[in-house]
Structure 1
Amino acid sequence: MRVVTWNLWWRFGPWEARQKAILAVLRDLRPDVVGLQEVWAADGENQAEWLADELGLHWTWAPSPSPERWRRRIGDPTVDIGNAVLSRWPVVDQEVLELPAPAALADGRTALYARLATPAYDVPFFTTHLTSAPYASAVRCRQVTAVAELVARHRGGTPFPPVVTGDFNAWPDSDAVRLFGGYKTEPAVPGQVLYDAWEYADPAAPSATWTPENPYTARVLEPAVRIDYIHVGPPGPVGEGHVRHVRRAGDGPVDGVWASDHAAVVADLADVADLGDEISVP
Protein backbone atom coordinates (compact mmCIF):
# COMPACT_ATOMS: atom_id res chain seq x y z
CA MET A 1 0.00 0.00 0.00
CA ARG A 2 1.67 3.20 -1.15
CA VAL A 3 0.91 6.25 0.99
CA VAL A 4 1.82 9.82 0.08
CA THR A 5 1.55 13.07 2.02
CA TRP A 6 2.01 16.43 0.30
CA ASN A 7 1.36 20.10 0.97
CA LEU A 8 0.35 21.53 -2.44
CA TRP A 9 0.98 25.24 -1.63
CA TRP A 10 -2.63 26.27 -2.41
CA ARG A 11 -2.93 29.06 -5.05
CA PHE A 12 0.47 30.56 -4.33
CA GLY A 13 3.12 31.13 -7.00
CA PRO A 14 2.58 29.90 -10.59
CA TRP A 15 -0.26 27.66 -9.46
CA GLU A 16 -1.62 26.84 -12.91
CA ALA A 17 1.75 25.60 -14.14
CA ARG A 18 2.27 23.82 -10.83
CA GLN A 19 -0.99 21.89 -11.32
CA LYS A 20 0.50 19.93 -14.18
CA ALA A 21 3.68 19.23 -12.23
CA ILE A 22 1.70 18.00 -9.21
CA LEU A 23 -0.26 15.62 -11.40
CA ALA A 24 2.88 14.38 -13.13
CA VAL A 25 4.56 13.55 -9.80
CA LEU A 26 1.50 11.74 -8.42
CA ARG A 27 0.95 9.87 -11.66
CA ASP A 28 4.54 8.65 -11.54
CA LEU A 29 4.21 7.57 -7.90
CA ARG A 30 1.00 5.56 -8.51
CA PRO A 31 -0.21 5.99 -4.90
CA ASP A 32 -2.97 4.02 -3.21
CA VAL A 33 -3.75 6.74 -0.67
CA VAL A 34 -2.76 10.41 -0.57
CA GLY A 35 -3.12 12.96 2.22
CA LEU A 36 -3.09 16.49 0.82
CA GLN A 37 -2.85 19.86 2.52
CA GLU A 38 -3.44 23.38 1.11
CA VAL A 39 -5.88 22.13 -1.51
CA TRP A 40 -7.88 24.80 -3.34
CA ALA A 41 -11.46 25.03 -4.52
CA ALA A 42 -12.96 27.90 -6.53
CA ASP A 43 -15.62 28.61 -9.16
CA GLY A 44 -17.12 25.13 -8.88
CA GLU A 45 -13.71 23.43 -9.30
CA ASN A 46 -11.87 21.43 -6.66
CA GLN A 47 -8.20 20.54 -6.97
CA ALA A 48 -8.67 17.23 -5.15
CA GLU A 49 -11.55 16.24 -7.41
CA TRP A 50 -9.51 17.07 -10.52
CA LEU A 51 -6.52 15.06 -9.32
CA ALA A 52 -8.73 12.13 -8.33
CA ASP A 53 -10.41 12.10 -11.74
CA GLU A 54 -7.05 12.20 -13.52
CA LEU A 55 -5.64 9.41 -11.34
CA GLY A 56 -8.76 7.25 -11.15
CA LEU A 57 -9.12 7.58 -7.38
CA HIS A 58 -11.88 8.30 -4.88
CA TRP A 59 -11.66 11.59 -3.00
CA THR A 60 -12.96 13.63 -0.11
CA TRP A 61 -11.99 17.00 1.26
CA ALA A 62 -12.48 19.27 4.26
CA PRO A 63 -12.57 23.03 3.57
CA SER A 64 -11.22 25.41 6.16
CA PRO A 65 -14.07 26.91 8.21
CA SER A 66 -12.14 30.21 8.39
CA PRO A 67 -10.28 30.88 5.12
CA GLU A 68 -10.29 34.68 5.33
CA ARG A 69 -6.64 35.11 6.35
CA TRP A 70 -5.54 32.80 3.56
CA ARG A 71 -7.63 34.71 1.02
CA ARG A 72 -6.10 38.02 2.03
CA ARG A 73 -2.64 36.64 1.28
CA ILE A 74 -3.51 36.16 -2.40
CA GLY A 75 -6.04 38.98 -2.70
CA ASP A 76 -8.89 36.69 -3.81
CA PRO A 77 -11.97 36.39 -1.55
CA THR A 78 -13.47 33.49 -3.53
CA VAL A 79 -10.90 30.69 -3.14
CA ASP A 80 -11.33 28.02 -0.46
CA ILE A 81 -8.51 26.04 1.16
CA GLY A 82 -8.55 22.69 2.92
CA ASN A 83 -7.21 19.18 3.38
CA ALA A 84 -8.10 16.23 1.15
CA VAL A 85 -7.73 12.48 0.83
CA LEU A 86 -7.40 10.59 -2.44
CA SER A 87 -7.88 6.83 -2.24
CA ARG A 88 -7.95 3.75 -4.42
CA TRP A 89 -10.76 2.50 -2.17
CA PRO A 90 -14.11 4.07 -1.25
CA VAL A 91 -14.38 6.41 1.71
CA VAL A 92 -17.08 4.90 3.95
CA ASP A 93 -16.85 7.26 6.93
CA GLN A 94 -15.23 10.59 7.74
CA GLU A 95 -14.94 13.32 10.35
CA VAL A 96 -13.51 16.82 10.23
CA LEU A 97 -11.93 18.36 13.33
CA GLU A 98 -11.07 22.06 13.59
CA LEU A 99 -7.77 22.35 15.41
CA PRO A 100 -7.50 24.52 18.53
CA ALA A 101 -5.62 27.80 18.16
CA PRO A 102 -5.57 31.20 19.90
CA ALA A 103 -7.24 34.10 18.11
CA ALA A 104 -3.93 35.47 16.82
CA LEU A 105 -3.19 32.21 14.98
CA ALA A 106 -6.71 30.96 14.22
CA ASP A 107 -6.83 30.44 10.44
CA GLY A 108 -9.16 27.45 10.27
CA ARG A 109 -6.75 24.52 10.20
CA THR A 110 -8.30 21.07 10.42
CA ALA A 111 -7.70 17.35 10.63
CA LEU A 112 -9.59 15.06 8.26
CA TYR A 113 -10.38 11.42 9.06
CA ALA A 114 -11.37 9.08 6.23
CA ARG A 115 -12.13 5.38 6.69
CA LEU A 116 -11.11 3.48 3.57
CA ALA A 117 -12.84 0.20 2.68
CA THR A 118 -10.25 -2.11 1.11
CA PRO A 119 -11.36 -5.63 0.09
CA ALA A 120 -9.57 -7.11 3.12
CA TYR A 121 -10.20 -4.57 5.91
CA ASP A 122 -10.83 -0.91 6.64
CA VAL A 123 -7.92 1.53 6.89
CA PRO A 124 -8.26 4.44 9.35
CA PHE A 125 -6.55 7.31 7.52
CA PHE A 126 -5.97 10.90 8.62
CA THR A 127 -4.41 14.06 7.23
CA THR A 128 -3.77 17.39 8.92
CA HIS A 129 -1.99 20.75 8.71
CA LEU A 130 -0.71 22.34 11.92
CA THR A 131 -0.01 25.97 12.76
CA SER A 132 3.15 27.24 11.08
CA ALA A 133 4.42 30.09 13.29
CA PRO A 134 7.93 29.07 14.45
CA TYR A 135 7.25 30.23 18.02
CA ALA A 136 3.95 28.31 18.30
CA SER A 137 5.26 25.03 19.70
CA ALA A 138 2.72 25.06 22.54
CA VAL A 139 -0.12 25.54 20.04
CA ARG A 140 1.12 22.62 17.93
CA CYS A 141 1.24 20.46 21.06
CA ARG A 142 -2.43 21.24 21.72
CA GLN A 143 -3.21 20.51 18.09
CA VAL A 144 -1.43 17.14 17.98
CA THR A 145 -3.22 16.18 21.18
CA ALA A 146 -6.53 16.90 19.43
CA VAL A 147 -5.42 14.88 16.39
CA ALA A 148 -4.27 11.99 18.61
CA GLU A 149 -7.68 11.97 20.30
CA LEU A 150 -9.33 11.89 16.86
CA VAL A 151 -7.17 8.89 15.95
CA ALA A 152 -8.12 7.14 19.19
CA ARG A 153 -11.83 7.52 18.39
CA HIS A 154 -11.48 5.92 14.96
CA ARG A 155 -8.53 3.50 15.04
CA GLY A 156 -10.45 0.39 16.11
CA GLY A 157 -12.33 -2.42 14.39
CA THR A 158 -9.59 -3.31 11.90
CA PRO A 159 -6.22 -5.09 11.92
CA PHE A 160 -4.64 -2.27 9.91
CA PRO A 161 -3.02 0.41 12.07
CA PRO A 162 -4.02 4.07 11.80
CA VAL A 163 -2.09 6.11 9.23
CA VAL A 164 -1.67 9.83 9.94
CA THR A 165 -0.24 12.16 7.31
CA GLY A 166 0.35 15.86 7.19
CA ASP A 167 2.35 19.02 7.36
CA PHE A 168 3.15 19.30 11.06
CA ASN A 169 5.29 22.44 10.64
CA ALA A 170 7.51 20.93 13.33
CA TRP A 171 11.03 19.55 13.37
CA PRO A 172 11.46 15.81 14.07
CA ASP A 173 12.86 16.43 17.58
CA SER A 174 10.17 18.97 18.50
CA ASP A 175 7.83 18.63 21.45
CA ALA A 176 4.82 18.27 19.13
CA VAL A 177 6.23 15.37 17.11
CA ARG A 178 7.55 13.57 20.18
CA LEU A 179 4.21 14.02 21.95
CA PHE A 180 2.27 12.78 18.95
CA GLY A 181 4.39 9.67 18.46
CA GLY A 182 4.35 8.75 22.11
CA TYR A 183 7.50 6.61 22.04
CA LYS A 184 10.03 9.32 22.94
CA THR A 185 7.86 10.97 25.59
CA GLU A 186 4.52 10.32 27.29
CA PRO A 187 1.94 9.95 24.49
CA ALA A 188 -0.85 12.46 23.95
CA VAL A 189 -3.34 9.60 24.36
CA PRO A 190 -2.36 7.04 27.03
CA GLY A 191 -1.06 3.85 25.43
CA GLN A 192 -1.28 5.13 21.84
CA VAL A 193 1.93 4.96 19.78
CA LEU A 194 2.31 6.27 16.22
CA TYR A 195 5.71 5.68 14.62
CA ASP A 196 7.30 8.25 12.34
CA ALA A 197 7.70 6.26 9.10
CA TRP A 198 10.99 8.04 8.43
CA GLU A 199 12.54 6.00 11.24
CA TYR A 200 12.68 3.22 8.60
CA ALA A 201 14.46 5.38 5.99
CA ASP A 202 17.99 5.00 4.75
CA PRO A 203 19.97 7.26 7.11
CA ALA A 204 21.82 8.68 4.10
CA ALA A 205 18.65 9.55 2.18
CA PRO A 206 17.77 13.26 1.82
CA SER A 207 14.99 13.97 4.28
CA ALA A 208 14.22 17.71 4.24
CA THR A 209 10.76 18.50 2.89
CA TRP A 210 11.25 22.24 3.44
CA THR A 211 14.57 23.17 1.89
CA PRO A 212 16.32 26.11 0.20
CA GLU A 213 17.03 23.74 -2.71
CA ASN A 214 13.47 24.65 -3.68
CA PRO A 215 13.32 28.18 -5.16
CA TYR A 216 9.91 28.84 -3.59
CA THR A 217 11.40 28.12 -0.16
CA ALA A 218 14.86 29.62 -0.62
CA ARG A 219 13.53 33.17 -0.41
CA VAL A 220 12.53 32.80 3.28
CA LEU A 221 16.13 31.97 4.30
CA GLU A 222 15.16 29.16 6.69
CA PRO A 223 17.19 26.01 7.32
CA ALA A 224 16.42 22.75 5.53
CA VAL A 225 14.26 20.51 7.71
CA ARG A 226 11.70 17.71 7.56
CA ILE A 227 8.27 19.04 8.61
CA ASP A 228 5.99 16.65 6.65
CA TYR A 229 5.19 13.24 8.12
CA ILE A 230 3.60 9.86 7.70
CA HIS A 231 2.87 8.30 11.09
CA VAL A 232 1.74 4.68 11.39
CA GLY A 233 0.53 2.72 14.39
CA PRO A 234 2.23 -0.55 15.39
CA PRO A 235 1.77 -3.29 12.76
CA GLY A 236 -1.30 -5.53 12.85
CA PRO A 237 -1.40 -9.22 13.89
CA VAL A 238 0.50 -10.47 10.82
CA GLY A 239 2.40 -7.27 10.07
CA GLU A 240 -0.28 -5.15 8.40
CA GLY A 241 0.97 -1.60 8.02
CA HIS A 242 4.65 -2.42 8.53
CA VAL A 243 6.79 0.28 6.86
CA ARG A 244 8.77 -1.36 4.06
CA HIS A 245 10.22 1.74 2.35
CA VAL A 246 10.04 5.52 2.79
CA ARG A 247 11.51 8.38 0.77
CA ARG A 248 10.99 11.90 -0.53
CA ALA A 249 9.28 12.72 -3.82
CA GLY A 250 8.39 15.91 -5.69
CA ASP A 251 11.82 17.20 -4.70
CA GLY A 252 12.86 18.57 -8.08
CA PRO A 253 11.40 20.43 -11.05
CA VAL A 254 9.09 18.86 -13.63
CA ASP A 255 9.74 20.38 -17.05
CA GLY A 256 11.32 23.32 -15.27
CA VAL A 257 8.49 23.81 -12.76
CA TRP A 258 8.65 22.93 -9.06
CA ALA A 259 5.27 21.46 -8.10
CA SER A 260 5.11 22.88 -4.56
CA ASP A 261 7.17 24.61 -1.91
CA HIS A 262 7.16 21.29 0.00
CA ALA A 263 8.54 17.93 -1.02
CA ALA A 264 6.22 14.96 -0.59
CA VAL A 265 6.85 11.91 1.61
CA VAL A 266 6.12 8.43 0.24
CA ALA A 267 5.85 5.26 2.34
CA ASP A 268 5.16 1.70 1.19
CA LEU A 269 3.24 -0.20 3.87
CA ALA A 270 2.77 -3.96 4.05
CA ASP A 271 -0.64 -5.11 2.81
CA VAL A 272 -2.28 -8.55 2.95
CA ALA A 273 -1.33 -9.07 -0.69
CA ASP A 274 2.41 -9.00 0.10
CA LEU A 275 2.54 -10.22 3.70
CA GLY A 276 4.29 -13.48 4.37
CA ASP A 277 6.35 -15.40 6.86
CA GLU A 278 9.24 -12.97 6.45
CA ILE A 279 7.51 -10.51 8.82
CA SER A 280 7.94 -11.42 12.45
CA VAL A 281 5.82 -9.52 14.93
CA PRO A 282 7.06 -9.58 18.57
Structure 2
Amino acid sequence: MLRWGCFGLLVLSFSALAQPVAPVIKVASVRLPPVSESWMNDRERIATLLADLRPDVIVVQDVQQVSDASNPACWLGGKLRYSCDFVSADRPSQAQRRGNAILTRLSTLEDGITLLHGDDSPSIAGMQRLQLQRAQLNIYTARMRPADNTTIARGHQAADLRTWMDATGEGLPSLVVGDFSAPTDELVRQLPGFQPARRNPSVRRPEPRPAESNEHGMDVLYQVRSFADIKQQAIVLPAEAASLASTPLGMMATLRITRAFDEASSDTP
Protein backbone atom coordinates (compact mmCIF):
# COMPACT_ATOMS: atom_id res chain seq x y z
CA MET A 1 0.00 0.00 0.00
CA LEU A 2 2.87 2.33 0.77
CA ARG A 3 4.41 1.77 -2.65
CA TRP A 4 1.11 2.50 -4.41
CA GLY A 5 0.63 5.65 -2.31
CA CYS A 6 4.11 6.91 -3.25
CA PHE A 7 3.46 6.06 -6.89
CA GLY A 8 0.19 8.03 -6.80
CA LEU A 9 1.96 11.07 -5.35
CA LEU A 10 4.66 10.74 -8.00
CA VAL A 11 2.07 10.68 -10.81
CA LEU A 12 0.39 13.76 -9.40
CA SER A 13 3.74 15.55 -9.19
CA PHE A 14 4.55 14.78 -12.81
CA SER A 15 1.04 15.90 -13.82
CA ALA A 16 1.52 19.22 -12.04
CA LEU A 17 4.90 19.74 -13.70
CA ALA A 18 3.39 19.02 -17.12
CA GLN A 19 0.97 21.95 -16.85
CA PRO A 20 2.24 24.98 -18.82
CA VAL A 21 3.24 27.92 -16.64
CA ALA A 22 1.72 31.22 -17.74
CA PRO A 23 4.65 33.44 -18.77
CA VAL A 24 5.43 36.76 -17.14
CA ILE A 25 6.63 39.79 -19.10
CA LYS A 26 8.31 42.96 -17.81
CA VAL A 27 7.72 46.06 -19.96
CA ALA A 28 9.40 49.40 -19.29
CA SER A 29 8.32 52.74 -20.72
CA VAL A 30 11.01 55.42 -20.33
CA ARG A 31 12.02 58.86 -21.54
CA LEU A 32 15.75 59.51 -21.74
CA PRO A 33 17.39 62.86 -20.95
CA PRO A 34 17.98 65.09 -23.99
CA VAL A 35 21.15 64.37 -25.94
CA SER A 36 23.44 66.82 -24.18
CA GLU A 37 26.05 66.88 -21.46
CA SER A 38 23.43 65.48 -19.05
CA TRP A 39 22.83 62.43 -21.26
CA MET A 40 26.54 61.80 -21.74
CA ASN A 41 27.12 62.00 -17.99
CA ASP A 42 24.21 59.76 -17.02
CA ARG A 43 23.89 57.20 -19.81
CA GLU A 44 26.18 54.59 -18.23
CA ARG A 45 24.26 54.81 -14.96
CA ILE A 46 20.92 54.56 -16.84
CA ALA A 47 22.17 51.45 -18.64
CA THR A 48 23.23 49.91 -15.30
CA LEU A 49 19.84 50.72 -13.73
CA LEU A 50 17.90 49.08 -16.56
CA ALA A 51 20.25 46.10 -16.64
CA ASP A 52 19.47 45.51 -12.96
CA LEU A 53 15.70 45.74 -13.61
CA ARG A 54 15.97 43.28 -16.55
CA PRO A 55 12.84 44.29 -18.50
CA ASP A 56 11.97 42.07 -21.45
CA VAL A 57 10.91 45.11 -23.48
CA ILE A 58 11.92 48.76 -23.16
CA VAL A 59 9.96 51.36 -25.11
CA VAL A 60 11.82 54.67 -25.26
CA GLN A 61 9.43 57.57 -25.73
CA ASP A 62 10.13 60.75 -27.69
CA VAL A 63 13.55 59.79 -29.04
CA GLN A 64 15.34 62.62 -30.85
CA GLN A 65 18.00 61.56 -33.31
CA VAL A 66 20.40 63.97 -35.00
CA SER A 67 22.53 63.06 -37.99
CA ASP A 68 25.87 63.80 -36.33
CA ALA A 69 25.26 61.69 -33.20
CA SER A 70 24.26 58.12 -32.40
CA ASN A 71 20.64 57.34 -31.64
CA PRO A 72 20.46 57.43 -27.82
CA ALA A 73 17.86 54.64 -27.58
CA CYS A 74 19.84 52.36 -29.88
CA TRP A 75 23.04 53.17 -27.95
CA LEU A 76 21.19 51.96 -24.85
CA GLY A 77 19.98 48.87 -26.69
CA GLY A 78 23.51 48.03 -27.77
CA LYS A 79 24.81 48.48 -24.24
CA LEU A 80 22.13 46.10 -22.90
CA ARG A 81 22.47 43.71 -25.88
CA TYR A 82 18.84 44.29 -26.86
CA SER A 83 17.62 44.73 -30.41
CA CYS A 84 16.60 48.31 -31.30
CA ASP A 85 13.80 49.32 -33.67
CA PHE A 86 13.54 53.11 -34.10
CA VAL A 87 10.24 54.21 -35.68
CA SER A 88 9.74 57.77 -36.92
CA ALA A 89 7.40 59.64 -39.26
CA ASP A 90 10.36 61.77 -40.38
CA ARG A 91 12.30 60.94 -43.56
CA PRO A 92 15.64 59.19 -43.02
CA SER A 93 17.34 62.03 -44.91
CA GLN A 94 16.27 64.64 -42.35
CA ALA A 95 18.99 66.06 -40.13
CA GLN A 96 16.79 65.63 -37.07
CA ARG A 97 14.26 62.83 -36.60
CA ARG A 98 11.81 62.21 -33.78
CA GLY A 99 10.05 58.98 -32.84
CA ASN A 100 9.94 56.01 -30.48
CA ALA A 101 12.21 53.00 -30.11
CA ILE A 102 11.42 49.43 -29.07
CA LEU A 103 14.28 47.59 -27.36
CA THR A 104 13.85 43.91 -26.55
CA ARG A 105 15.79 40.82 -25.57
CA LEU A 106 12.99 38.57 -26.88
CA SER A 107 12.77 37.11 -30.37
CA THR A 108 10.94 39.38 -32.83
CA LEU A 109 8.66 37.53 -35.27
CA GLU A 110 7.08 40.48 -37.12
CA ASP A 111 7.07 44.26 -37.04
CA GLY A 112 5.21 47.14 -38.64
CA ILE A 113 4.49 50.87 -38.54
CA THR A 114 1.52 53.13 -39.27
CA LEU A 115 0.57 56.80 -39.04
CA LEU A 116 -1.86 58.18 -36.49
CA HIS A 117 -3.66 61.21 -37.87
CA GLY A 118 -5.01 63.90 -35.63
CA ASP A 119 -3.66 67.15 -37.04
CA ASP A 120 -1.31 68.39 -39.76
CA SER A 121 1.65 66.47 -38.27
CA PRO A 122 0.68 62.81 -37.89
CA SER A 123 2.61 60.71 -35.40
CA ILE A 124 3.98 57.22 -35.87
CA ALA A 125 2.93 53.99 -34.17
CA GLY A 126 5.04 50.84 -34.17
CA MET A 127 4.34 47.15 -33.55
CA GLN A 128 6.42 44.09 -32.80
CA ARG A 129 5.23 40.51 -32.42
CA LEU A 130 7.38 38.81 -29.81
CA GLN A 131 7.97 35.23 -28.71
CA LEU A 132 7.82 34.77 -24.93
CA GLN A 133 8.44 31.12 -24.05
CA ARG A 134 5.53 29.29 -25.78
CA ALA A 135 3.41 32.42 -26.13
CA GLN A 136 3.29 35.12 -28.78
CA LEU A 137 2.15 38.67 -28.05
CA ASN A 138 1.96 42.06 -29.74
CA ILE A 139 3.66 45.18 -28.43
CA TYR A 140 2.26 48.42 -29.87
CA THR A 141 3.92 51.76 -29.18
CA ALA A 142 2.44 55.20 -29.79
CA ARG A 143 2.97 58.78 -28.74
CA MET A 144 -0.57 60.16 -28.84
CA ARG A 145 0.03 63.87 -28.31
CA PRO A 146 -1.44 65.77 -31.27
CA ALA A 147 -0.36 69.39 -31.67
CA ASP A 148 -4.05 70.29 -31.83
CA ASN A 149 -4.59 68.71 -28.42
CA THR A 150 -8.38 68.46 -28.49
CA THR A 151 -10.74 65.61 -27.74
CA ILE A 152 -11.50 65.30 -31.47
CA ALA A 153 -7.82 65.15 -32.50
CA ARG A 154 -7.02 62.64 -29.76
CA GLY A 155 -10.03 60.58 -30.80
CA HIS A 156 -8.81 60.45 -34.41
CA GLN A 157 -5.45 59.09 -33.29
CA ALA A 158 -7.07 56.52 -31.00
CA ALA A 159 -9.41 55.41 -33.82
CA ASP A 160 -6.43 54.96 -36.18
CA LEU A 161 -4.63 52.90 -33.54
CA ARG A 162 -7.69 50.70 -32.89
CA THR A 163 -8.17 50.07 -36.62
CA TRP A 164 -4.52 49.11 -37.02
CA MET A 165 -4.58 46.79 -34.02
CA ASP A 166 -7.72 45.10 -35.35
CA ALA A 167 -5.97 44.54 -38.69
CA THR A 168 -2.66 43.27 -37.29
CA GLY A 169 -3.38 41.75 -33.87
CA GLU A 170 -4.49 38.30 -35.11
CA GLY A 171 -6.20 37.64 -31.78
CA LEU A 172 -2.93 37.52 -29.82
CA PRO A 173 -2.52 39.14 -26.39
CA SER A 174 -1.61 42.80 -26.97
CA LEU A 175 -0.07 45.67 -25.03
CA VAL A 176 0.02 49.37 -25.88
CA VAL A 177 3.07 51.21 -24.52
CA GLY A 178 2.71 54.92 -25.01
CA ASP A 179 2.67 58.51 -23.87
CA PHE A 180 -0.86 59.88 -23.79
CA SER A 181 -2.11 63.45 -23.47
CA ALA A 182 -5.73 62.36 -22.98
CA PRO A 183 -7.13 62.24 -19.44
CA THR A 184 -7.32 58.73 -18.00
CA ASP A 185 -11.09 58.32 -18.31
CA GLU A 186 -11.01 59.50 -21.95
CA LEU A 187 -8.13 57.14 -22.78
CA VAL A 188 -9.97 54.14 -21.34
CA ARG A 189 -13.05 55.01 -23.42
CA GLN A 190 -10.91 55.42 -26.57
CA LEU A 191 -9.26 51.99 -26.17
CA PRO A 192 -11.97 49.69 -24.79
CA GLY A 193 -10.76 46.44 -23.29
CA PHE A 194 -7.42 47.92 -22.22
CA GLN A 195 -6.48 48.76 -18.63
CA PRO A 196 -3.73 51.22 -17.68
CA ALA A 197 -1.13 49.64 -15.39
CA ARG A 198 0.09 52.90 -13.89
CA ARG A 199 -3.32 54.22 -12.93
CA ASN A 200 -5.19 51.04 -12.19
CA PRO A 201 -8.30 52.35 -10.40
CA SER A 202 -8.41 49.25 -8.18
CA VAL A 203 -4.98 49.94 -6.65
CA ARG A 204 -3.65 53.20 -5.28
CA ARG A 205 -0.06 53.66 -6.47
CA PRO A 206 2.58 56.37 -6.50
CA GLU A 207 3.06 58.12 -9.84
CA PRO A 208 6.40 57.48 -11.60
CA ARG A 209 6.19 60.90 -13.24
CA PRO A 210 3.84 63.75 -12.29
CA ALA A 211 1.42 64.30 -15.14
CA GLU A 212 0.73 67.77 -16.46
CA SER A 213 -2.80 68.98 -15.68
CA ASN A 214 -5.05 65.92 -16.04
CA GLU A 215 -3.16 64.14 -18.84
CA HIS A 216 -2.53 60.42 -18.49
CA GLY A 217 1.17 60.41 -19.34
CA MET A 218 3.39 57.39 -19.97
CA ASP A 219 1.93 53.97 -19.28
CA VAL A 220 1.54 50.34 -20.33
CA LEU A 221 -2.04 49.47 -21.34
CA TYR A 222 -2.89 45.77 -21.21
CA GLN A 223 -5.86 43.71 -22.40
CA VAL A 224 -7.84 42.77 -19.32
CA ARG A 225 -8.89 39.44 -20.86
CA SER A 226 -5.29 38.51 -21.72
CA PHE A 227 -3.12 39.76 -18.84
CA ALA A 228 -3.04 40.00 -15.06
CA ASP A 229 -1.39 43.05 -13.51
CA ILE A 230 1.26 41.73 -11.10
CA LYS A 231 3.36 44.77 -10.25
CA GLN A 232 4.11 48.31 -11.33
CA GLN A 233 7.11 50.35 -10.27
CA ALA A 234 8.65 53.71 -10.98
CA ILE A 235 12.02 53.83 -12.74
CA VAL A 236 14.10 56.54 -11.07
CA LEU A 237 17.78 57.32 -11.55
CA PRO A 238 19.23 58.04 -8.09
CA ALA A 239 21.10 61.30 -7.61
CA GLU A 240 24.89 61.10 -7.61
CA ALA A 241 25.07 63.39 -4.60
CA ALA A 242 22.82 64.00 -1.61
CA SER A 243 22.41 67.63 -2.64
CA LEU A 244 21.03 66.70 -6.07
CA ALA A 245 17.57 65.47 -7.04
CA SER A 246 16.89 62.03 -8.47
CA THR A 247 15.69 61.78 -12.09
CA PRO A 248 12.36 60.06 -12.91
CA LEU A 249 12.73 58.09 -16.14
CA GLY A 250 9.39 56.28 -16.41
CA MET A 251 7.74 53.10 -15.21
CA MET A 252 7.83 49.32 -15.56
CA ALA A 253 4.84 46.96 -15.53
CA THR A 254 5.13 43.27 -14.71
CA LEU A 255 2.28 41.29 -16.28
CA ARG A 256 1.25 37.65 -16.57
CA ILE A 257 -0.38 36.28 -19.70
CA THR A 258 -3.60 34.67 -18.46
CA ARG A 259 -5.10 33.24 -21.65
CA ALA A 260 -4.21 29.68 -22.60
CA PHE A 261 -1.84 29.49 -25.56
CA ASP A 262 -4.34 27.70 -27.80
CA GLU A 263 -6.98 30.34 -27.08
CA ALA A 264 -4.83 33.26 -28.27
CA SER A 265 -4.64 32.11 -31.88
CA SER A 266 -8.37 31.49 -32.24
CA ASP A 267 -9.81 34.64 -30.63
CA THR A 268 -10.41 37.87 -32.48
CA PRO A 269 -8.74 41.09 -31.23
Q: Same fold (TM over 0.5)?
A: yes
**Structure with max Cα Rg:** 2
**Greater fraction of residues in strand:** 2
Q: Report what 1:136 is aligned to.
A: 150
Corresponding residue of 2:28: 4
Cα-to-partner distance string for 1:8-48 (whole Å, 9 max, x where unaligned)? 35537833234334323322321011122112333362223
SS of the residue 2:155 aligns to: helix
Residues 1:94 and 1:210: Cα distance change in structure 2 (over 3 Å):
same
Percent same amino acid among aligned pairs?
Answer: 20
The answer to whether the 8 Å contact 1:201/1:247 transfers is: no
2:92 aligned with 1:78:
no
* 2:217 matched residue in structure 1: 227
Offset, 1:271:
4.8
Distance 1:253 1:225 in 2: 26
C-alpha distance in 2 between matches for 1:224 and 1:12: 30
Q: Distance in 2 between matches of 1:99 and 1:13?
A: 33
How many residues get paired? Answer: 232
Residue of structure 1 equivalent to 2:18: none
Deviation, structure 1 residue 110: 1.0
1:111·1:126 contact (CA, 8 Å) conserved in 2? yes
Report what 2:44 is aligned to: 20
Q: Does 1:180 align with 2:197?
A: no
> Given the two structures, how large is their TM-score scaled by the length of structure 2?
0.73
In structure 1, distance between residues paired with 2:214 and 2:52: 25
SS at match of 2:106: coil
Q: Does structure 1 residue 97 correspond to structure 2 residue 114?
A: yes
Aligned-residue RMSD, C-alpha:
3.2
**2:149 is equivalent to residue 163 of structure 1:** no
Shift in Å at residue 129 of structure 1?
A: 0.6
CA drift of 1:154 comes to 2.2
Q: CA deviation at 1:66?
A: 6.4
Q: Are 1:119 and 2:120 an aligned pair? A: no
**Counterpart contact for 2:118–2:146, Cα < 8 Å:** no
Matched with 1:264 is 250
Structure 1 window deviating more from structure 2 (54-63 vs 222-231): it is 222-231
Question: 8 Å contact 2:145–2:179 — kept in the other structure?
Answer: no
CA distance in 2, matches of 1:132, 1:7: 18
Distance (Å, rounded) in 2 between the aligned partners of 1:230 and 1:95: 19
5+ unaligned residues in a row in structure 1: which ranges? 69-76, 183-192, 212-221, 273-282
